[in-house]
Chain A
Amino acid sequence: MSWINLSALWKIVVFGLIAGAGLPAIFAVGLYSLSQGPRTARLAGADGATESDTLIGGSVIGMIGAAICFLIVLAAIGWGVYEVYQIGHPAVKH
């Protein structure tokens, strides 16, 4: 029995990066995609300070892209939680 479980360690690092940094990045891509379009472009041009917090840019392609990104994130979270549940209840007898 070793002091450190290397296989668990690398799994935590790799999956940690995928879930902990990758998923927020996909979410960010979704936000970016959502914000593209005529409305935010006009607002951004109107005043240099860009104080508006309008998020939806109004471009259809942008919104579809955003929806795909957000769905990926939600699906990944759902799957992750399900996996944790499966691993955490090993004593289920059939």
Chain B
Amino acid sequence: MLVLVVITALAFDFTNGFHDTGNAMATSIATGALPPRVAVAISGVLNFVGAFLSLAVAATIASGLVDTKVVTLTVVAAGLAGGIIWNLVTWLFGIPSSSSHALIGGVIGSVIAAAGGSGVLWHGLVSKVVLPAVLSPIIAAGVAAAGTWLLYRISRSMTEGARKHGFRIGQIGSACMVSLAHGTNDAQKTMGVITLALIANGTLAAKSNAPIWVIVCCALAISIGTYLGGWRVIRTLGKGLVEIEAPQGMAAESASAAVILLSSSFGYSLSTTHVATGSIIGTGLGKRGAEVRWGVAGRMATAWVFTLPSAGLVGAGAFGLAHGIGGTIGVIVDLILLALLGGFIYYRSRGSKVDPSNVNAEWTGSVAPTKTPAEPAAV
């Protein structure tokens, strides 16, 4: 049973990785600073390193959100199922919703189904998850807008070509920092959940830190997921929201990296996705004449609001099912359903494929480009 839960958690971590590659690398890919495949490879490696950097967020998830006394392995498994399903569905539509909220929502939903509202530490939830979720994109947008304005101001007398060349190099550096930051924040969440499962199983004492093998497995899962790349989300972030130039890309990434790293070290499990989106919008605001596609932004914000409750409902449903059947069999039934659904979503996604060859095609209002080889590969 414990093994099943750990595998499910690592599967979540994997979806987390490929869902979130875009946060770090979308702007570099969109501006042509890095070839798509190289970008995701670098990002994967840095996610791995970042996972070891700080354990503050894992601690928040493991002991700050739900009462560890009511958590059983079934609860954790059901919560993970909720998180994974929401991640896959939003990925299908190319919406960069928060993997963190999907996970937290799923776990909280299944805790409520198992033990009622008293099993949730509401204060921890609001102060460490909900408020940061609202504030972080605003802060990131402000920082990115300030950065964009400064960069254009300082570089305005440079030639266009020199500016593009120079900031592309800077962008690679800042994108690497975002990947690192993503590892410190997002890989932590799965570590937190596995730690929670170990505590529930009695393997670890309450309030323990994540053991080293958990850290290594999570770091691996997230970096493999990152490497495989969520091309659909990359496309929405890089092309759909604002048309991005190299200096804007660098400003957006620096802002994201700074905000995520700072918040991680305070133990706030904020959403890398929200921060990256906030930053990209910020660069649109910081440059005169740039156009922000508020329609796309609005669609994302809607998905954000729904993420916690929807993943929660799925988590609660998964718990109900597993609990109804009972024991290990119940969890296995849950996981089989999950695998079937995952397969179905993968199958659906083949119909409108987004991959390295068409990720940068002109934005025509939908996630999948209408004509596949819309433009020659610009490297």
Contact = CB atoms under 8 A, between A and B. Distances in A.
Interface of A: 1-5, 8-9, 11-13, 15-21, 23-25, 27-29, 31-32, 34-35, 40, 43-44, 50-55, 77, 80-81, 83-85, 87-89, 91
B161 interface: yes
Contacts of A88: 53-56, 184, 264-265
Contact of B161 (A20, A29, A52): A52
Interface in B117-167: 123, 126-127, 131, 135, 139-140, 142-144, 146-147, 150-151, 154-155, 157-167
Interface centre among A43, A52, A84 (most CB of B within 10 A): A84
B180 interface: yes
B30 interface: no
A32 B167 CA distance: 11
A77 to B, nearest CB: 7
A24 B161 contact: no
Interface of B: 53-56, 123, 126-127, 131, 135, 139-140, 142-144, 146-147, 150-151, 154-155, 157-167, 170, 174, 177, 180, 184, 209, 247, 250-251, 254-259, 261-266, 268
A12 B139 contact: yes
Nearest to A74: B173
A16 B53 contact: no
B166 A16 contact: no
A35 B161 CA distance: 11
B245 to A, nearest CB: 13
Contacts of A35: 158-159, 162, 166
B151 A25 contact: yes
B139 A16 contact: yes
Contacts of B159: 35, 40, 43-44, 50, 52, 54
5 contacts: A1-B123, A12-B266, A19-B261, A20-B143, A51-B160
A81 B177 CA distance: 9
Contacts of B162: 31, 35, 40, 52-55
A4 B123 CA distance: 10
Contacts of B258: 15-16, 18-20, 23
B131 A4 contact: yes
A40 to B, nearest CB: 6
Contacts of B53: 81, 84-85, 88
Contacts of A11: 262, 266
Given A12-B263, A35-B159, A77 B170 contact: no
Query: Top 10 closest A-B pairs, CB basis?
Result: A88-B54, A20-B258, A53-B161, A21-B147, A19-B258, A31-B166, A20-B255, A20-B143, A28-B154, A53-B165
Nearest to B263: A12
Given A31-B155, A50-B160, A84-B53, A24 B266 contact: no
B254 A19 contact: yes
Contact of B123 (A3, A8, A77): A3
Interface centre among A13, A17, A24, A34 (most CB of B within 10 A): A24
Given A20-B147, A24-B250, A8 B139 contact: no
Contacts of A43: 159
Interface centre among A28, A40, A43, A87 (most CB of B within 10 A): A28
A29 B154 contact: yes
Given A12-B139, A83-B265, A84-B53, A20 B254 contact: yes
A71 to B, nearest CB: 13
B154 A25 contact: yes
Contacts of A31: 155, 158, 162-163, 166-167, 170
Contacts of A77: 177
A87 to B, nearest CB: 4
Contacts of B174: 24
Contacts of A54: 159, 161-162
Contacts of A28: 150-151, 154-155, 167, 170, 247
Contact of A21 (B131, B251, B263, B268): B251
A20 B259 contact: yes
Contacts of B146: 17, 21
